[in-house]
């Protein structure tokens, strides 16, 4: 599915220009691969985008000449051969734009790259900007939301397939490989991120890496996975309990579920980000497990699995219609078990919509093999 489907690239460029008007820069050099794709529809790599008040251009190399023509109609193109560096191409484009003050996203460029640009653009002013394109990406357009819905649907079908094919002795790594298989089988482009399949004590590691622990060694299985579709990803977490939950899992699972439901209920336009985090954290703290909820509540999803906004105790800002966020509280007993439940939630004009619909009651976790 081509990125051009997602709204009008020219509209996105105009929104960026409106933000640039307050930045005191002549142009912005967009260096992040995902930001370049969002603004232009270009799906290649190793390329930049230069945007001023009246011009926009892709900066790339000859590998992508045909692709740029196909994907980026309406954009100028500066293309380098093998005898020139990207820094030299940037300098050429900036001179052609007659720009004197250039904005660089401080969150998405290395110090080495900045030093290289300073050397090549010694007669120009380089200004650090702060996440202008990610700010735009927070608010999803209708086609983006429709694509995330499909990514969620594929992820849900994948989970059901995993549950029906799970077998005793299967390793965490094998489960993760099965997730990739089923996502592609159901029409996805692959996993949206590295799948977390964690059994027993490994479920107490929020970002566990799948290994050789086997189904049946412990009842608890935590699966955190997402499907990529049309460039966009979903992000879900569910628990399974082989033969039924252990006493520890049975104790903390209802608390995590209540915390998640409280946070989801708090979501709506204008609500402070930290308020949503507090809704879940207060439930877990009241149950006596506050010290075992060790991460923020959630984050935005889209072209990347981790996008703005962030739902945390220290987040500033408010929810806006069109944002899609994860809600994923957890309780983790090191060396024993962990429980996390995660859904993807759309902020609407009047409240919220939970995009994912997999059952998540404690009884729903039980798997009989």
Q: Same domain for 249 and 322?
A: yes
Domain that residue 255 falls in: 142-367
End of a domain among 137, 165, 190?
137
- Top mean-pLDDT range of 80-84, 119-123, 237-241, 365-369: 237-241
Strand order, beta sheet including 366-367:
196-199, 220-225, 236-242, 366-367
Q: Same domain for 125 and 204?
A: no
Q: Which two tokens stand for residue 239?
A: 């628990």
What pLDDT band is residue 219 in, cutting at 50, 70 and 90? very high
How far apart (Å, rounded) are the C-alpha atoms in residues 192 and 29? Answer: 27
pLDDT at 110: 87
What DSSP designation does 312 have?
Answer: S
pLDDT at 267: 99
16 within 8 A of 28, measured Cβ to Cβ: yes
How far apart (Å, rounded) are the C-alpha atoms in residues 302 and 266? Answer: 21
Q: Same domain for 148 and 238?
A: yes
pLDDT at 289: 98
pLDDT at 111: 87
What pLDDT band is residue 5 in, cutting at 50, 70 and 90? very low
CATH number at residue 110: 3.40.350.10
Q: Same domain for 213 and 130?
A: no
Q: Same domain for 278 and 155?
A: yes
Q: Same domain for 38 and 165?
A: no
How far apart (Å, rounded) are the C-alpha atoms in residues 268 and 286? Answer: 24
What pLDDT band is residue 113 in, cutting at 50, 70 and 90? confident
Strand stretches in 194-315, DSSP E = 196-199, 220-225, 227-229, 232-233, 236-242, 298-300, 307-311
pLDDT at 350: 97
Q: Which residues sit opposite 343 in a β-bridge?
A: 327
pLDDT at 106: 83
Q: Same domain for 150 and 80?
A: no
Q: Same domain for 169 and 86?
A: no
What pLDDT band is residue 4 in, cutting at 50, 70 and 90? very low
102 alpha carbon, distance to own chain's centre: 28
The radius of gyration computed from the CA coordinates of the chain, to the nearest angstrom, equals 23
Q: What sign results for the dihedral spanned by CA atoms 48, 325, 275, 338?
A: negative
Tell me the average pLDDT of the chain.
95
CATH number at residue 353: 3.90.230.10
Q: Same domain for 315 and 280?
A: yes
End of a domain among 137, 155, 190?
137
Average of pLDDT values for 340-353?
99
Q: Same domain for 56 and 158?
A: no
Is the pLDDT reported for residue 107 higher than 90? no
Average of pLDDT values for 81-97?
95
Average of pLDDT values for 284-307?
98
266 alpha carbon, distance to own chain's centre: 21
pLDDT at 108: 85
End of a domain among 122, 137, 152?
137
Q: Same domain for 203 and 289?
A: yes
What DSSP designation does 48 have?
Answer: E
How far apart (Å, rounded) are the C-alpha atoms in residues 237 and 326? Answer: 10
What's the whole-model pTM score? Answer: 0.94
Residue 137: closest CA among 286, 322, 5, 272: 322
Residue 215: closest CA among 169, 267, 179: 169
How far apart (Å, rounded) are the C-alpha atoms in residues 212 and 191? Answer: 20
Is the pLDDT reported for residue 204 higher than 80? yes
Q: Same domain for 124 and 269?
A: no
Average of pLDDT values for 224-229?
99
- Structural domain total, the chain: 2
What pLDDT band is residue 171 in, cutting at 50, 70 and 90? very high
Element (H, E) at 135: helix 132-137
């Amino acid at each position: 599915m081509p990125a051009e489907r997602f709204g009008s690239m020219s509209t996105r460029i105009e929104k960026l220009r409106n933000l640039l008007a307050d930045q005191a820069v002549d142009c912005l050099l967009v260096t992040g691969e995902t930001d370049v794709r969002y603004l232009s529809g270009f799906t290649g790599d190793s390329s930049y985008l230069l945007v001023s008040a009246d011009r926009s251009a892709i900066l790339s190399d000859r590998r992508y000449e045909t692709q740029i023509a196909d994907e980026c109609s309406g954009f100028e193109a500066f293309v380098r051969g093998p005898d020139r560096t990207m820094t030299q191409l940037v300098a050429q484009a900036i001179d052609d734009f007659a720009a004197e003050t250039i904005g660089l996203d401080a969150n998405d460029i290395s110090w080495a790259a900045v030093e290289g640009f300073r050397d090549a653009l010694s007669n120009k002013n380089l200004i650090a900007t702060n996440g202008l394109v990610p700010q735009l990406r927070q608010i999803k357009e209708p086609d983006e939301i429709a694509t995330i819905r499909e990514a969620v649907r594929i992820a849900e079908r994948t989970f059901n397939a995993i549950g029906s094919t799970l077998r005793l002795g299967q390793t965490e790594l094998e489960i993760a490989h099965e997730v990739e298989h089923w996502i592609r089988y159901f029409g996805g482009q692959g996993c949206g991120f590295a799948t977390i399949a964690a059994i027993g004590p490994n479920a107490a590691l929020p970002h566990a890496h799948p290994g050789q622990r086997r189904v049946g060694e412990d009842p608890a299985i935590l699966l955190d996975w997402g499907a990529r579709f049309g460039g966009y990803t979903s992000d879900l977490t569910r628990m399974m309990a082989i033969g039924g939950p252990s006493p520890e899992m049975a104790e903390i699972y209802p608390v995590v579920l209540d915390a998640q439901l409280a946070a989801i209920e708090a979501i709506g336009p204008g609500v402070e980000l930290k308020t949503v985090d507090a809704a879940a954290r207060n439930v877990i703290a009241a149950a006596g497990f506050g010290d075992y909820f060790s991460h923020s509540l959630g984050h935005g999803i889209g072209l990347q699995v981790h996008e703005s906004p962030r739902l945390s105790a220290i987040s500033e800002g408010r929810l806006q219609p069109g944002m899609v966020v994860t809600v994923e509280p957890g309780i983790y007993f090191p060396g024993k078990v962990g429980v996390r439940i995660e859904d993807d939630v759309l902020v609407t004009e009047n409240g919220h919509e939970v995009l994912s619909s997999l059952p998540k009651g404690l009884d729903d976790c039980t798997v009989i093999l």
